[in-house]
Amino acid sequence: MPPTTSLAERLTRPAEREGQGSPFARYIAAAAVIAAIVLVGILLFGGGGYTVSAVFPNAGQLVTGNNVDIGGRPVGSVTDISLTPDGQALVKMSLSEQTPLHEGSSAVIRATSLSGIANRYVSIQPGPSNRLAIKSGHRIATSRTTSPVDLDQLFNTLDPKTRSGLQQIIKGSAQQYAGKSRQAGQALHFLNPALSTSSRLTREVVVNEASFRAFVADTAKTVRAIAERSGDLTNLVSNANTTMRSIGDENVALSQALGLLPGTLRNANTTFVNLRSTLDDLDQLVNASKPATRRLAPFLRVLRPLVADARPTIHDLRVLIHKAGPDNDLIDLTAKMPRLAKLTDSVFPRVIKSLVKSQPVIEFARPYTPDLAGWFTKFGEGAANYDANGHYARIEPIFNEFSFASNVLTPQPLSNRLSALQTGKGKRCPGGAMQPTPDHSAPYREPQTTCDPSASPSP
């Protein structure tokens, strides 16, 4: 079996070795070489696909063709470097379309090593994937870009005055750590977790930039509000200082209180344990009270005006109960009650006996109250008229000559005209001189009496 050959070997080796003299193989080989060159150019220069620009304070010896990395992996190259109208460096980068960026992305110019001058590359930190994707041609502002700092720039800052200050810092640090190297070593031992934690905190802050900005804005408002109340803050600090000084003056009592605190806490622990079961029982009461509580809110809204109107009454009641001065309030009266009780021990029994004896008299006179009141009110009217001789009273005798029924006056016989004045007839009950009251309390008919309630005037 003849040995097999690959397609590339068949396309690239001369026609003499294949035993064929046709130029078709040479054309295919040339086309393959041209296609490979075009493919390499697209991979190297990006083919004008996904482009992003970044504005840096300075290009930092960055040149066209330098790599663009994301997470240490090359994803494109620098295609152009120009100046913005304000003199900053505008770096245009061509990236692979498989690596789209999102809002919040940042760019940093870094050096691959210290051995070269133009060995720079652009490192891009992508924004959060939950943010909107950046379209081709987007420009990253200077607020999210960082230019490198060359050693020459660092050395130029070390002028004689700066070096003298740095020497003093070093000497002061030596004096500070003299004899405390062990403690400094322990501090450095715990510095690593503190730095790593701070790094994670900073990373979270940078990722959630919107929340961080809101936090800074709220903090600024808080500090501004505190600054506006600087006088109150000063008084707070001074009062706190006075409070702490007073606590320091009572250090003996404070020590005794701290000594009693463990026992108090033990008793409180037992109380809280018992309180837990009480709260469980109280849940049933709370659940049963919830329906009534919902209806209580409208009642409290209606009650609020009453409470506001009751303030003067409560104030007067407070003054009535307690007022400055002797013998002028309810407290002073209550204090004198025992003395009054001694005086009434002998007076009240006699008063009760008098009231009991006057009860029959009051019962007898009570039914005649309307008649007595009518006499008082009508007596003056009966003698109110007067003439040249003075006041006079009119007297009208009644002989019952007519009877009135159905709006008709009917003459009565002579034998019936004085019937109402005969003994035992027409006897009015107590209170019968007035018209009957609406509550029927008058005329009053006592038991076992012969009075006639119908003899009262008609209403």
Query: What mean pLDDT is predicted for residues 177-181?
Result: 82
Least confident of 81-95, 271-285, 337-351, 413-427: 413-427
Mean pLDDT of 23-44: 59
Q: Are strands 50-56 and 138-140 parallel, antiparallel or unpaired?
A: parallel
pLDDT at 216: 85
Whole-number pLDDT of residue 442 = 76
Percent of the chain, pLDDT > 70? 80
pLDDT recorded at residue 10: 44
Residue type, 196: S
Q: Name the residue with higher pLDDT: 222 or 339.
A: 222
> Residue 122: exposed, middle, or buried by beta-carbon count in 10 A (0-12, 13-18, 19+)?
buried
Mean pLDDT of 345-373: 83
| Mean pLDDT of the residues in the chain | 79
pLDDT for res 419: 61
- Tell me the per-residue pLDDT of 234-245, one tens digit each, with 9 for 90 and over: 888 989 988 888
What CA dihedral angle connects 111, 112, 117 and 123, to 10 degrees? -40
pLDDT digits (tens, 9 = 90+) for 244-285: 888 888 888 888 888 888 888 888 888 888 888 888 888 888
- Three-class secondary structure of residue 441 per DSSP: coil
What pLDDT, on the 0 to 100 scale, is given for residue 115? 56
Residue 6 scores a pLDDT above 50? no
d(CA 31, CA 27): 6
**Range from 8-17, 24-33, 156-165, 376-385 that averages highest in pLDDT:** 156-165
Please give the average per-residue pLDDT across 5-11, as a whole number. Answer: 43
Q: What is the pLDDT of residue 158?
A: 80
The greatest distance separating any two alpha carbons of the chain, rounded to the nearest whole angstrom, comes to 181
* Number of helices (H), then strands (E), in the chain: 12, 12
Q: List Cβ neighbours of 83 (8 Å cut-off, separation of 6 or more).
A: 89, 90
pLDDT at 326: 86
pLDDT tier at 83 (50, 70, 90 boundaries)?
very high
Residues 63-78: tens digit of each pLDDT: 999 999 998 889 999 9
**pLDDT at residue 15, as a whole number:** 42
**pTM score, two decimals?**
0.30
The first and second tokens of residue 304, run together, are: 């609020």
| Highest averaged pLDDT of the listed ranges 80-89, 104-113, 118-127, 187-196 | 80-89
Break the chain into its structural domains and give their ranges. 1-47, 49-149, 199-253, 266-309, 311-349
Task: Enumerate the β-bridge partners of residue 78.
Answer: 93
